[in-house]
Structures are given as structure tokens and as C-alpha cells.
Amino acid sequence: MNCEIIAIGSELLTPYRLDTNSLFLTERLNKIGVNVAFKTVVGDRRSHLTEAVKIALSRADIVILMGGLGPTEDDLTREAVADAMGKSVKRDSDLVAQLYSRAAARRSALTANNMKQADILDGAIVLENSRGTAPGQWLDTVWGEHRKLVMMLPGPPLELKPMFDEQCIPLLRDALPQRHIATRTLKAAMIGESAADTRIAPIYTKFKDVETTILAHMGDIQLNLICSKRTPDTAQQRVNELASRIEEELDDLIYSSQGESLEQIVLYYLGMHGSTLSVAESCTGGLVAQRLTSISGSSRSFLGGAVVYSNELKTAFADVPPEMIEKHGAVSREVAVALAEGIRKRAGSTYGLGVTGIAGPMGGTEEKPVGLVFVALSDGKETEVVEKRFSGDRERIRMWASQQALDLVRRKLM
Amino acid sequence: MNCEIIAIGSELLTPYRLDTNSLFLTERLNKIGVNVAFKTVVGDRRSHLTEAVKIALSRADIVILMGGLGPTEDDLTREAVADAMGKSVKRDSDLVAQLYSRAAARRSALTANNMKQADILDGAIVLENSRGTAPGQWLDTVWGEHRKLVMMLPGPPLELKPMFDEQCIPLLRDALPQRHIATRTLKAAMIGESAADTRIAPIYTKFKDVETTILAHMGDIQLNLICSKRTPDTAQQRVNELASRIEEELDDLIYSSQGESLEQIVLYYLGMHGSTLSVAESCTGGLVAQRLTSISGSSRSFLGGAVVYSNELKTAFADVPPEMIEKHGAVSREVAVALAEGIRKRAGSTYGLGVTGIAGPMGGTEEKPVGLVFVALSDGKETEVVEKRFSGDRERIRMWASQQALDLVRRKLM
């Protein structure tokens, strides 16, 4: 069954705001075998909205509308759907009572506009909003001789997500023909999208019943496998079969086979070994530490470290000898090693990580161009160092460098 | 004039990828007085795409299609637009010659599919692609008795953006009635969206000829003002008038009146004073340093600092006395002050910034709940400290804390 998602709101037609709810809905819909065929964004104009609903009904079996359910004059979703479907609207007395009691609790008056939130389309089921005032609506009806499922959901993600998961998904499961969907997410580090695709396309194209999507972001590849079958076992089996073939091909580039992030995996390995880590960062300027500490509970294995942007701080916080910086330059194999060893000793951690490089766009030379990065990892006995040349802008070079740093730790602990 | 933007590609209908080109196009279009009324995302199916083009032509004056211009079988934009408009397609001999010479340079053969990229709609102008092989097309034509402007652009942002700026904008300027657009961007820190809107809505709603958009992101507010008039001076005057009224109301909450980021402003002030900064971060775990170092040239004013996630590192890198941590706790006014003063001395910087708090979701107590954050700034003579209680998840609390830290420096230097 095909679905169209309509995001409603003039703010979504400015240069400043994107609809992201549709990503959440698509993920949930795909898991129960529903394909999203169209997405539309339309502003708060009744005629535009009514037309958009008619178009969606003409080309999709399931239509999900987000936004425009509030109490203001701009909130026109109820009216537009009623117009488009030729349905009448009734004021629901239970909802009116709810609105009154909420207003009383807040000691505020109910305006006529507020009452709109109690208007329900003929035949619709009310979807309760546990996080806000505007209820949603579910409609399972016939339009132009075809069965149509129409959902009206509030725009704020905090209201939409629980409403969809708790009320729409069970209704959808009952309404849809029974299918079983299996999914797997594999992740790989330090390989680009086209390099990864060249290696695995010959494999996944043979699995025509498994949908494979590649998502690449600055040194991080996510492979999403999804398969829909009559029984859960056959679906899972096909997904697992493809996953193992891809794991065989990409081998140790794969860092996660259940969707965890690289920082989660690094912290998991550290915890498993009872080891700790510290970091001295120059060109990444705190990015490696920030990624690790974004994970709750990271303090068990990550002690912290230093952002040694200036040469003086490389010496002050990681004991890099000034003569070494003078001789080899701050961006050098030697300094990366000294940073890793120095921060390890200073922090008293099992492992020490050092990162130095030229993030650009300034500061590059012919000998040491923008994108040159050294990453070193010390365990107190030996220090491994990797030299890389990344391309792209400052953000991209910093992200690849932080990815390389985390991946070096992963490989050491693997 | 109204515009519809159509993003083409089945990958844009997965849970993993959003069309972001439309934000760029909307910004550019608004600047020349074109309003985006609809956005559509459609997959690589010829019938779906053809219908979507017909719908767009029926409701918009300008239709911009992105993607589907490459050489593969999935690239169907040319065919679909020709079908929808009842136009014929001709193979352009100059483009064929170009394709041959490019293939020869790469020593690769030209397949039949590759040739599709030389197919041009009857009456279209070829838009050269300086970054890729697929050229774009511009069509100024009559459809159903109305004048329509249709653009076909490549999907990759690196190809689309220069093509639009260099070729489409001049063509659009010539094709559109003459209007002059003025814009201003104000930014404010440490205020929420609804609090800001409550204060400024009475002001901007009086300027009916200036469109005001509020964009809020974790302690950062961006106000975009845009006005279209017959002369550039009147447009600029109205925008400036509204901007000064808003600046009067929000006063020192406004940190930038030309669109700069908070980290840029902090670095700008530091540079102006010839001062330097260092940071000792606990709960933000490198986020403050990372934000500052994301700006090219930050090394002139930002020396670096320490990520003092463990108590031991608070002592080792910022000389926080262990007794102080024991007595007051790592998350305390005293420790924030000690971090700021300690890192300042260790780094030898003009200013030292200390951040400590509970980012959650674990680690909160009744006395010290999740979201409690202390930020301190020392200049060597005195140390200012701010206590805040932020709400939300780990990411949100960390972002607000980093915002508070940067804002404290800004206010000191202002």
C-alpha cells in the first residue's frame, strides 16, 4: 500500500525549516510494510491545502497530514480534509468538555477558535493527544470507490510521535494485510559511499527481495536492509543472509551490525576490557571528546583530555617537547605520537589518543597540505600512528579525522 | 509569482535522507521576490513523476525540478517533463560532442544511456554544469494559456548551487517583474522561542509589509526579516526600521545583527580586544571547544583547554582541589569557578571559562537535578559565575550549556 505524507505550515516553505517528522513516519511505516510514494509540503492556505488533499487521495491509499490542528485561524487541516472528502464536521461534546476543564485548570477563557479543536470529521476516530491540546483524527473510509486511510496528526514532534506509535500503528496493523518485515542496519567506518557501493552492489543486487539503502556521512556508512515476507522467519533469514555476505566483503570495515554508532561501539569495547581513554586534540578541537561524551554513561570509560590548539598547550597539557614541534612542526607524525603518549600519562588512562592536522581552509603548505591529519594511539607499551590526507571543507576534514581517531581505538580493542 | 519545487529520487522517500536543496533554492528565490508555495518529493517512477509535473504546472508559475538528470535508467526527469508538457525531445549535437570528448578524456566508452544527457526539450535553454556531466535545462513557455518557467537542475548540491546562482538567477531576474528585496538577520542567545515571540510579536505584526520568521534552536534564536518594494531604498528602510525596534525590545539578548553565529561573535570580540580564551569543560565534554574551533582562524584567539570529565582530570588539568570536589561536589558553583581560574592560569590566556553540570539522563539527585549547570568566566581579577537549570534531553542540555558559556564571554567583552 502506498502512502503520501503532507506537512502543513507556511514556516515549512521558508529557507529556515524542514519537515523532519516525515523521516520518523517513513521509518515506522516501512517497518509495517507501507511504502511512502509522495511527500508534499503546503502552506496555511485553505484552497492550497484542500487541493493537496484531493491530489493525495487520488494517488495514495494512505494519507497522513501533519500540522494545522491547533486553535488559530491558520489551522485549517480539519476544514480542508472535510472539503476535499465531502464530509461533514461535528463538534464532539466529550472533546468540548475536555477543552473546558483544561481551560479551567489554567484559569483561561475558551475562545471560539479554541473550540475548533473539538471538530471531528464524520466517521473519524479521535486520537488522544497526551502532550498537547489538539487531538488527532483517524479515518478509514471509502473515497471514489477506493478504501482510504487518512490520519490527521499534530505538527510538534513531541506530540506526533507518541500519538503515531501508540494509536496509529495498532490501527494500521489491523487495517493492513498481514506482512512481516525484517530489518538490519550495518555500519562501516573510513570508507566512502562510492567505494562501498562498488564492493557491495554485486552482492545486494542479487537479493531482489531485500531493499538495501546506503547512507553515507563523512567517513561513516550506514547500510539499511529491509525485507517483507509472509512469515517472520523467511524475512529475517533473507536479511541475515545478505548481512553476512556484506560483512564478509567489507570485513573489518564493519564496526556495528545492529545499528550502534561508532562512539557507542568504542565505549562498549572500552567497558568490556575495563579500560579507560583520554584524548589530546589539535585540529579536531574537541570533536572527538564531544562525540564520546554525547553518549550517556561515557564517564565510566572516557576520562577526558585536552584541546591543545596552541603549541604551548601541546606542551603544557601533553608534554610535547617544544623542540619537537620546532623540528617537525605541530602537524607531524612525531607530535601525534607525543600527544597520545603525553595525554595517556597525564590522564592516567589505559589508552591515549592524539590528533593533529590541518583542517583548513588556511594553513596548508605544499609539503603539508590542507587535509593532512595524523592520529596516534598509545597503550603505554607501543604507539600506533596513522597518516591520512582528507579532502573537502573544514567541517568534513574534522569529521573524517574524528572518525579515524575513534576507528583506531576500535581496531585496537576489537 | 508562485513556485513549486519538486525533489526527485526514491532515496528521498526513505527514512534516511531529506531534500535540503529546497532550503537553498527558497532562500535565493525569496531574495528576488518569488514565494515557494509547494514542495513535493517523488520517487524514480515515470508515471508518478509525470503526474507530479502536471500538478505543479497547474498550481504554480515556476516549477523547479531537482534530480533525475543523470545517465542511468532511473533518471527520468527529461522524459517526464516532456510527457507532462506535450513537448518533444531533441538530441543536442553540441552536447553529444561534449559527452564524447569527456568520455575520451576518461578513456571510457559512451553507453546509449549516457547519450540521454544530451536530450533537450523543444524550446529549452541548456544550463551548463561546471561540476558534473548532466546539464540542466531552462524553459520559458506557455502551458494551458499561462506562462510557465520550468527549470530542470541536477540533484547533487555541488552541481545545483552554482548552476542556479550563475545561470538561473540572471534568467529569472530578466523574466520577472522588477521588485527589490531587502533582508536582515538578527540573532539572540539564551531565550526560548515562545518567550522571544511574546516580546516581539506586538512589534513585527505592525509591519505587515515585512515578513518575519523566527527560527529557534536550543538557546539560539534567528529572526529573519524580509521586505519587497518597488525601490531598494524603501525596502531597506522598512527592514531596518523593524530591526531597530526589535533590537530595542530584546536589547542585549541580541548578539548579532548581520547573521553571524555566536561563536563567530565571541571570536570577533576576542580578536578586537587582542585577548585569548581557554576552556575547561565537564558536562559539555568538548562541545564549547568544538564550536569555537569549527570557525576558521579561531586559533588566533582560542588557545584550547581541557575536557575534564573525571574528577582526577579536574585536578590534573585545572588545579581544582580534590577537597573542594569532595565538599561541594563536582557540579557546584565553587568547582565552576575553580575550573575557570585554573584553566586560565594553566593555558596562560586572558580569559578562562569553566563549565560543569549534569547532562543526564542519569546522575541527577533531588538536590542537584539533571539540567543543573554552572558556568564561570575568569579574567584573572574576578570570576563571574552563572547557575542555570536547563530542561530537555542530554543533547539539549549540553547545547544550552555551551550556548550559556559562549554568551557569558560575549557579555563580558561587549
Together in a domain, A71 and A130:
yes
Give the pLDDT score at A126: 97
Together in a domain, A7 and A92:
yes
Together in a domain, B228 and B157:
no
A412 has a chain B CB within 8 A of its CB: no
Distance of CA B33 to the CA centre of its chain: 21
* Contact yes or no for B355/B401 (Cβ under 8 A): yes
Give the pLDDT score at A86: 94
Residue among B302, B354, B185 nearest B255 (CA):
B185
Give the pLDDT score at A106: 77
Q: N- to C-terminal Cα distance for chain B?
A: 43
Together in a domain, B170 and B184:
no
* Separation in Å, CA of B161 to nearest CA in chain A: 14
Q: What share of chain A is helix, strand, coil (3-state, %, to 5)?
A: 45, 25, 30
Distances (CA, A) of A407 to A9, A404, B95, B234, B304: 42, 5, 45, 56, 24
Quick one: A182 exposed, middle or buried, by C-beta within 10 A (0-12, 13-18, 19+)? buried
Q: What confidence tens digit (pLDDT) does each residue in B287-334 have?
A: 999 999 999 999 999 999 999 999 999 999 999 999 999 999 999 999
B279 has a chain A CB within 8 A of its CB: yes
Together in a domain, A354 and A305:
yes
Together in a domain, A164 and A65:
yes
Together in a domain, A294 and A239:
no
For residue B249, give the CATH number of its domain: 3.30.70.2860
Which residue of B45, B307, B406 is the best one to mutate when testing the A interface, meaning the one whose CB has the most A CBs within 10 A?
Answer: B307
Cross-chain residue pair A36–B20, CB shorter than 8 Å: no
From B345, which residue of chain A is nearest by alpha-carbon distance? Answer: A316
| Per-position pLDDT tens, chain A of length 414 | 899 999 999 889 988 889 999 999 999 998 888 999 999 999 989 999 999 999 999 999 999 999 999 888 788 999 999 999 999 999 999 999 988 888 888 777 777 778 889 999 999 999 999 888 889 999 999 998 999 999 999 999 989 999 999 999 999 999 988 778 888 999 999 998 888 888 999 999 999 999 888 888 889 999 999 898 888 899 999 999 999 999 999 999 999 998 899 999 999 999 999 999 999 999 999 999 999 999 999 999 999 999 999 999 999 999 999 999 999 999 999 999 999 999 999 999 999 999 999 999 999 999 999 999 999 999 999 999 999 999 888 999 999 999 999 999 999 999
Together in a domain, A213 and A295:
no
Distances (CA, A) of B91 to A389, B69, B71, B94, B209: 42, 14, 14, 9, 47
Distance of CA A152 to the CA centre of its chain: 24
Kindly give the pairing relationship between strand B351-357 and strand B277-281.
parallel
Together in a domain, B186 and B280:
no
Cross-chain residue pair B286–A293, CB shorter than 8 Å: yes
Q: Is A399 helix (H, G, I), strand (E, B) or coil?
A: helix
C-alpha cell at B292: 569555537
Beta strands per DSSP E along A193-328 = 210-217, 220-229, 254-256, 277-281, 302-308
Cross-chain residue pair A18–B18, CB shorter than 8 Å: yes
From B281, which residue of chain A is nearest by alpha-carbon distance? Answer: A304
pLDDT class of B194 with cuts at 50, 70, 90: confident
From A360, which residue of chain B is nearest by alpha-carbon distance? Answer: B296
* Separation in Å, CA of B93 to nearest CA in chain A: 31
* Contact yes or no for B377/B359 (Cβ under 8 A): no
Together in a domain, B205 and B301:
no
Above 80 in pLDDT, residue B109? no
Above 90 in pLDDT, residue B180? no
For residue B401, give the CATH number of its domain: 3.90.950.20
Q: Is B296 helix (H, G, I), strand (E, B) or coil?
A: coil
Together in a domain, B145 and B113:
yes
Beta strands per DSSP E along B230-371 = 254-256, 277-281, 302-308, 351-357
- Of B256, B289, B324, the position where a domain reaches its end is B256
- Select from A37, A289, A317 the Cβ nearest to the Cβ of B317: A317
Give the pLDDT score at B214: 83
Chains A, B: CB pairs < 8 Å: 216
* Separation in Å, CA of B141 to nearest CA in chain A: 24
Cross-chain residue pair A24–B15, CB shorter than 8 Å: yes
Cross-chain residue pair A310–B297, CB shorter than 8 Å: no
- Lowest-confidence segment of A192-201, B5-14, B263-272, B349-358 by average pLDDT: A192-201
Give the pLDDT score at A398: 97
* Separation in Å, CA of B14 to nearest CA in chain A: 6
- Show Cβ contacts of residue B139 under 8 Å, excluding neighbours closer than 6 positions: B81, B85, B121, B123, B124, B125, B148, B149, B150, B151
- Of B119, B150, B175, the position where a domain reaches its end is B175
Contact list in B for residue A307 (CB cut-off 8 A) is 279, 286, 289, 293, 304-307
Cross-chain residue pair A303–B294, CB shorter than 8 Å: no
Q: What is the mean pLDDT of residues B161-169?
A: 97
Cross-chain residue pair B347–A37, CB shorter than 8 Å: no
Looking at the structure of chain A, the number of domains it has is 3
- Of A238, A256, A274, the position where a domain reaches its end is A256
Q: Could you tell me the residue range of the domain that residue B108 belongs to?
A: 2-175
Say how far apart CA A339 and CA A352 lie, in whole Å. 8
Q: What is the mean pLDDT of residues B103-124?
A: 85
Q: What is the mean pLDDT of residues B123-142?
A: 93
Together in a domain, A74 and A103:
yes
A13 has a chain B CB within 8 A of its CB: yes
For residue B163, give the CATH number of its domain: 3.40.980.10
Which contacts of A269-273 are long-range, i.e. CB under 8 A and separated by 24 or more positions?
A269/A409, A269/A410, A269/A413, A269/A414, A270/A301, A270/A302, A270/A350, A270/A351, A270/A409, A270/A413, A271/A300, A271/A301, A272/A413, A273/A350, A273/A413
Above 80 in pLDDT, residue B408? yes
Give the pLDDT score at A132: 83
Q: What is the complex's ipTM, to 2 decimals?
A: 0.82
